[in-house]
Amino acid sequence: MRRILSVIAPVLALAIAVPALAAEHEAKLYTPKGGWSFQGPLGSFDQGSLQRGYKVYREVCSSCHAMNLLSFRNLGEKYGPFYDEKFPNPADNPFVKTLAHDQEAPAIKGINEETGDVEDRPGLPSDRFPDPFPNEYAAKASTGGYVPPDLSLIVKAREGGANYIYSILTGFVEAPSDVTVPDKLYYNQSFPSHFLGMKPPLADNKVSFDDGTPSTIRQQAKDVTTFLAWASEPKQTERKRLGLWVMAYLIGMALLAYGSYRRVWKNVH
Amino acid sequence: MSGQPSTYQPKSGFTRWLDSRLPILRLAHDSFVDYPTPKNLNYWWTFGAILSFMLGMQIITGIVLAMHYVPNATMAFASVEHIMRDVNYGWLVRYLHANGASMFFVAVYVHMLRGLYYGSYKAPREILWILGCIIYLLMMATGFLGYALVWGQMSFHGAVVITNLFGALPLVGESIRTWLWGGFSVDNATLNRFFSLHYLLPFMIAGVVILHVWALHVSGQNNPIGVDPKSEKDTVKFTPYATVKDGFGVALFVVMFGLFVFYMPNSLGDVNNYIPANPLVTPEHIVPEWYYLPFYAILRAIPNKLMGVLAMFGSIGVLFILPWLDTSKVRSMRFRPKAQIFFVIFVINALILGWCGHNPPDKFAIPVGEGGLTFVWLSRIGTAYWFAYFVIIMPLLGIVEKTRPVPDTISSPVLSGAATVEKA
Ligand code: HEM
């Protein structure tokens, strides 16, 4: 067996060392100060951050990015941004109702049942977040040729997850002097190719936070990323909470099974 | 083992009545209660039960998913997200199914390596082994079809790459590919048939598993020393001995499964599959699920596409004839010191091939200065060893290797000249 191990050890060492060397060359990702409220098996979303993050999305990002998989009612679901235990049915949550009702740019469209025309109408909790553009050509025309991706799943759809989104949003730095940035593209230190078709969307004090949190670019980025992480999987807090019970139960079962095994096999030699 | 008289005694009037009409309880009793199993089986033998459990898990979660899933190119992706967001515990069912497939493959690889190490494919278990290989092929097909159903970027472009492989066959390739697609590209018709087949194949697997277990119960289980049981002293009854040990094995496995489902449900998946399929945008690197990676590396190791496809299928095909390639008289590698070394290299080589499959072929696996060894060259070395292991090493080693003394019976390993046997 020792001989076998002497074969395994160098190969394993190689297998671990080589990817580590390769990783050095990739674009750098950052984690915000204080980390993420939702990280780790016990993490859950900081509700204040979710609410501020939604405000950033609604006031800044939603003019370019759709979130097709989200409805206003989701905002009031358990562990969500505007969950209030007085309203287990999020459609009754007055805050959610107001948010939907006041949605303006882009507005929610509906059919006028008298004239048959498609018109802007006040939103309902059951409405989906409205699309900023009628189609991708309109999107391209307005942003300079690049289609802003739907953000519903963006945190799960990028390597690096929340750290990646945060790093992109805070990564618009001066381009190094030897780099010429092509027309209609913006230099971003964390984007893999460094040239991104999105103008830096955030600026200090661009969004006002009602709870007095200082509205810096980093704070806005952290909050909107927290919101996007929630949106990419609204059930993740529930998953982690249920997981604790299930894991405890499974480990209990495994111990019981082990005890029975030892007992049954006691007399077999 | 087989052919031993049935000891089943129907106890009530009803079971006596049933027994003389359809002796199904007798079959169950003889197969899963009274059935003698070698008493020296180690934990590697619990993976058969783990696989049966996982097959059941996949079928049950799959049927529930199919109640909410929409097999349509414009709606499939959204229907999966509907399951994740709106269906009660839909997220749980989907994560069980997605991670369950990975766990199923973890278990089947352990199960197959167990067979490889202990010589479980050797006479009289050739058919048993071949049935296992058929199950494995069916699992690969099922996994591929299921992954396509999500209709994300990786689903779509993975389906394009794999179906295009058939296009490489001479003469009939193009027609077969069109036939598989149900049109001239991977599209709605393809998705529909993939759904239909993904629903069908697991039941075919279940059918072959029944044959597999039947064959097992005819030849009897192999065991770590590879010596058939000679007397009752060498065996214990299936129930309670094997049932309780398998139960413990399954419980431990499910703990690991649970960790994935609840705490890292996407760690084994590709982020690109959370982007809806778009035929016009090809992801930078198209990589299959981890369990296909070694074979993907073998495919790409060969510059000629047709030869690559043949090598890929051949690398699994060679398993089918393994019982006749291994010439050793000794079944278990516990007594084959040289074979052990080649086996360990085989396992490491398979992992390295997997690593190659994950990386772009032209990237340097082992950079040396400006140049180095690229992944495609590393996978060529790996492919060579894969085939050499089966068609050169196995046949020759059986003839030239000096094996350690093999005990006469399971109960007596410490008595006969086996004092030198290492404890594994
Ligand atoms: C759905 C997949 C499979 C299921 C459910 C399954 C199930 C089982 C079960 C219940 C046993 C009983 C012995 C034990 O617990 O180890 C067994 C034995 C065996 N299986 Fe499988 N199996 C599967 C796939 C495979 C594959 C892919 C192979 C190999 C290519 C394979 C090869 C064998 C062999 C050789 C034995 C005899 C083991 C021995 O006694 O040494 N099986 N299988």
Please tell me the predicted confidence (pLDDT) of residue B333: 97
Handedness of CA B214, B217, B220, B223 (dihedral sign): positive
State whether A156 and B266 contact (CB < 8 Å): yes
Tell whether omega for the bond before A81 is within 30 degrees of 0, i.e. cis: no
Q: Which residues fall within 8 angstroms of residue B240, CB to CB, at 6 or more apart?
A: A264
Span A72-80, average pLDDT: 96
The answer on pLDDT for A67 being more than 50 is yes
Please tell me the predicted confidence (pLDDT) of residue A104: 86
- Note the pLDDT tens digit of each residue in B218-244: 999 999 999 999 999 999 999 999 999
Task: Write the single-letter amino acid at A205.
Answer: N
Task: Write the single-letter amino acid at B264.
Answer: M
Please tell me the predicted confidence (pLDDT) of residue B422: 45
B125 lines ligand 1 (CB under 6 A): yes
| DSSP line for B341-391 | HHHHHHHHHHHHHHHHHHS-TTSEEEEETTEEEEHHHHHHHHHHHHHHIII
B41-222+231-286: CATH architecture: Up-down Bundle (1.20)
The answer on pLDDT for A9 being more than 70 is no
The answer on pLDDT for A23 being more than 50 is no
Domain residue ranges of chain B, discontinuous segments joined by +: 41-222+231-286, 289-403
- Note the pLDDT tens digit of each residue in A199-254: 999 999 999 999 999 999 999 999 999 999 999 999 999 999 999 999 999 999 99
Please tell me the predicted confidence (pLDDT) of residue A269: 76
ipTM of the shown complex: 0.91
Give, in order, the Cα–Cα distances in Å from B90 to each of A21, B67, B80. Answer: 40, 11, 9
Confidence of residue B58 (pLDDT cuts 50, 70, 90): very high
Q: At what angle do helices B47-68 and B243-263 cross, to 10 degrees?
A: 40
Please tell me the predicted confidence (pLDDT) of residue B72: 97
Same fold, B41-222+231-286 and B289-403: no
Mutate to test the interface with A, among B91, B151, B243 (most CBs of A within 10 A): B91
Please tell me the predicted confidence (pLDDT) of residue B297: 98
Cβ atoms of B109 and B354 closer than 8 Å = no
The answer on pLDDT for B57 being more than 60 is yes
Q: What 3-state class would DSSP assign to B236?
A: strand
Please tell me the predicted confidence (pLDDT) of residue A202: 97
| DSSP line for B249-295 | HHHHHHHHHHHHHHH-TTTTS-GGGGSB--TT---SS----GGGHHH
Distance of CA A1 to the CA centre of its chain: 48
Cβ atoms of B283 and B276 closer than 8 Å = no
The answer on pLDDT for B423 being more than 60 is no
Give, in order, the Cα–Cα distances in Å from A62 to each of A53, A97, A151. Answer: 12, 19, 9
The answer on pLDDT for A32 being more than 80 is yes
pTM of structure: 0.91
B322 lines ligand 1 (CB under 6 A): no
The answer on pLDDT for A11 being more than 70 is no
Residue A213 distance to chain B (closest CA, Å): 31
Span B335-361, average pLDDT: 97
Higher pLDDT, A22 or B35: B35
B48 CA to middle of ligand 1, Å?
5
Whole-angstrom distance, CA of residue A214 vs CA of residue B54: 51
The answer on pLDDT for B194 being more than 70 is yes
Chain B residues within an 8 Å CB radius of A11: 348, 352
Please tell me the predicted confidence (pLDDT) of residue A26: 54
Cβ atoms of B148 and B292 closer than 8 Å = no
Chain B residues within an 8 Å CB radius of A258: 248, 251
User: Pick from B173, B233, B192: which is nearest to B69 by CA?
Assistant: B192
Please tell me the predicted confidence (pLDDT) of residue B88: 97
**Which stretches of chain A sit within 8 Å of chain B by CB?**
1, 3-4, 7-8, 11, 14-15, 18, 21-22, 41, 68-69, 74, 149, 152-153, 156-159, 232-235, 238-240, 242-243, 246-247, 250-251, 253-254, 257-258, 260-261, 264-265, 268
Tell whether omega for the bond before B395 is within 30 degrees of 0, i.e. cis: no
Task: Write the single-letter amino acid at B163.
Answer: T
Task: Enumerate helices (H) and strands (E) in chain A, giving the number of each.
Answer: 7, 4
- Note the pLDDT tens digit of each residue in B271-282: 999 999 999 999
Residue to probe by mutation, ligand 1, list B111, B121, B128, B140, most atoms within 8 Å of CB: B111
| DSSP line for B178-199 | HHHHTSSSSSHHHHHHHHHHHH
B238 lines ligand 1 (CB under 6 A): no
Helices assigned H by DSSP within B89-187:
90-118, 126-149, 153-167, 173-181
Span B383-411, average pLDDT: 96
Please tell me the predicted confidence (pLDDT) of residue A12: 52
- Note the pLDDT tens digit of each residue in B356-387: 999 999 999 999 988 899 999 999 999 999 99
Span B151-160, average pLDDT: 97
Span B30-53, average pLDDT: 96
- Note the pLDDT tens digit of each residue in B66-111: 999 999 999 999 999 999 999 999 999 999 999 999 999 999 999 9
Q: Which of B85, B251, B367 sits opposite A253 (nearest CB)?
A: B251
B202 lines ligand 1 (CB under 6 A): no
State whether B348 and A7 contact (CB < 8 Å): yes
Q: What 3-state class would DSSP assign to A91?
A: helix
Higher pLDDT, A17 or B111: B111
Confidence of residue B413 (pLDDT cuts 50, 70, 90): low
For ligand 1, atom 4, name the residue with the nearest CA.
B51
Whole-angstrom distance, CA of residue B367 vs CA of residue A88: 58
Q: Which residues fall within 8 angstroms of residue A151, CB to CB, at 6 or more apart?
A: A57, A61, A65, A66, A67, A228, A231
Whole-angstrom distance, CA of residue B68 vs CA of residue A241: 25
Whole-angstrom distance, CA of residue A245 vs CA of residue A223: 30
B289-403: CATH architecture: Orthogonal Bundle (1.10)
B111 CA to middle of ligand 1, Å?
6
Please tell me the predicted confidence (pLDDT) of residue B419: 45
User: Pick from B30, B32, B40, B39: which is nearest to B4 by CA?
Assistant: B30
Span B343-347, average pLDDT: 98
Kindly provide the b/e burial profile for residues A126-153, where b requires at least 16 CB atoms within 10 angstroms of the residue's own CB: ebbbbbbbeeeeebeeebeeebbbbbbb
Task: Enumerate helices (H) and strands (E) in chain B, giving the number of each.
Answer: 16, 4
State whether A257 and B340 contact (CB < 8 Å): no
